[in-house]
Amino acid sequence: MKLKKQFKTIIILAICFLIIIGGYFSFRKIFKPDPKQIYEVAVMVRDQYNSNPEEDKKTSLKIGDVLVVQKVGHNWSNTEKVSYLILKMNLTEKQKAKLTQAKEKEIKFKNLTKEEQVRIKKEKKRAKDSNEEYHEEQKTEILIAREYYIDLSKEEFKGFSANNLLSGQPYIDDVFDWDIVERKK
């Protein structure tokens, strides 16, 4: 009888152990962080300007905006080295994409130009008449050239100015994470 109780206890403990181990590996698989890779990013150190204020917002990069993201070891030109702050950053693919994405908003059908509305209606009718599926692409408008920027006012960049680039890249041996990035308001 006592042996039977001990056997039951061992079985229950083994099952609990297997559940815990299975749960641990399932949790790690489901909540596995995205892999990161080190990239080099070219950061604007001077504002670009357009005389039209609306176009300026939509097309001009500002201080801290990322112009381009490259693989580590990219061969930057001498002009790029004195024109942009080049930083190494440890990023996921999503973070990499966010650094160069514009802030956009969807344009509703009623706000499209009359010509665009007529074109879409004709395409829908043609698709319906041909028994084809119609896939309307989402129309967007750029609000600002970059939604995210490198905050050069952070402690890590204290004392940095664009003129420092004439003496070389100041952070060539540093690798930064996403915590230096801010979303524009």
My answer on whether 66 and 118 are in the same domain is no
Residue 5 structure tokens: 């109780």
The C-alpha angle 141, 180, 46, rounded to 5 degrees, equals 65
My answer on whether 49 and 73 are in the same domain is yes
My answer on whether 95 and 108 are in the same domain is no
My answer on whether 1 and 46 are in the same domain is no
My answer on whether 51 and 131 are in the same domain is no
pLDDT, tens only, 14-40: 787 778 877 666 666 666 778 999 999
Confidence of residue 109 (pLDDT cuts 50, 70, 90): confident
My answer on whether 41 and 80 are in the same domain is yes
Number of structural domains the chain divides into: 3
Query: What pLDDT, on a 0 to 100 scale, did the predictor assign at position 141?
Result: 84
Confidence of residue 11 (pLDDT cuts 50, 70, 90): confident
pLDDT, tens only, 64-92: 999 999 999 999 999 999 999 999 999 99
My answer on whether 84 and 7 are in the same domain is no
SS3 87: strand
My answer on whether 22 and 109 are in the same domain is no
Query: What pLDDT, on a 0 to 100 scale, did the predictor assign at position 2?
Result: 65
My answer on whether 52 and 94 are in the same domain is yes
My answer on whether 13 and 28 are in the same domain is yes
User: Could you tell me which of 146, 156, 153, 147 has the C-alpha nearest to residue 177?
Assistant: 156
CB 82 within 8 A of CB 166: yes
My answer on whether 80 and 68 are in the same domain is yes
Query: What pLDDT, on a 0 to 100 scale, did the predictor assign at position 122?
Result: 87
pLDDT, tens only, 148-178: 999 999 999 999 999 999 999 999 999 999 9
The whole-model pTM stands at: 0.71
Compute CA distances 67 → 26, 31, 39, 89, 139, whole Å. Answer: 39, 32, 13, 14, 24
CB 146 within 8 A of CB 59: no
More reliable by pLDDT, 137 or 115: 115
Residue 165 belongs to domain spanning:
37-102+145-183
My answer on whether 50 and 20 are in the same domain is no
Alpha helices in the chain (DSSP H): 2-30, 53-59, 78-83, 93-99, 114-129
